[in-house]
Amino acid sequence: MSPRPAGLRADGAGDARGPAGTVRRLSFPRPERGAAVTAPSLEDPAAEVVLGCHVLGIEDQGDPVWGHVSRRDRDLGHVWLKAGPRGFDEVGAEDVVLTDLDGKRLLGSAPVPREYPLHTEVLRVREDVGSVVHCHPPHAIALAATGQPLYAFSNGAGPFAAGVPRYEAPVGLVETPELGADVARHLGDARALFLVGHGIVAVGASVATAVMTAVLLERACRLQLLAAAAGGVAPPLREPGSRYSHAEADGYLLRSWEYLVRRTNSGKDGKA
């Protein structure tokens, strides 16, 4: 176990220092596992990660306990990260840790996931990104395995009209900073990346937008596989042009996020 930072109590509460030496009081709320989680404030980053995990859980994005959500803490220069192994739907605040960009645990007691560089290296080079999601959604994995590009032929696929790049290195886990940096290079300025034979990476300015990017990517891949089974996507639909430009704004993602939060808290299945 890592040494406890100065000011950190055994219950997980304490101080954390940012790059400039400023101190902000931090604490983990301790809701009962399985309790409804309401939309958190920006002052509650651990709960924000928990809520993102719960939305991914109701969307069957788990595999079954692998995958993570991270949230950049711009005040501290660190990262709040879902630890493991926990299924997305069962994550509680005690399953979230605060790490620096080198993966050193600063707050919390759960183990830092081995693939933390997937998050930290993307955050290191993408200043516009506030959250990273890594998961193993089945339809995205299947479509990537075919070698076909993703065609944006629906409103839900609109955020990916510019394409989804591919990372094809034959690695099972992205568990070193070098591999994480390679993933970040392949992601470039895109919203998402296929980790071929593995899963996906999705990013956004917030946990909400990163999670919805992952959700919509999986739904877009599922639609394309359905179309392929019926004869394939018609050529005119393979180049959407500006048809789905309305789907590129974060507001489009957030409307669906709010709905899935309601479904998550009601305990219902959020599948389309």
Catalytic residues: 115
Tokens of 150: 């993703």
- CA dihedral sign of residues 82, 263, 226, 160: negative
What's the rounded Cα separation, in Å, for the pair 171 and 267? 36
Distances (CA, A) of 192 to 111, 133, 150, 165, 166: 26, 9, 11, 7, 9
Beta strands 192-195; 166-167: pairing state: parallel
- b (16+ CB within 10 A) / e for 92-123: bbbbbbbbebebebbbbbbebbebbbbbbbbb
Beta strands 131-135; 105-107: pairing state: unpaired
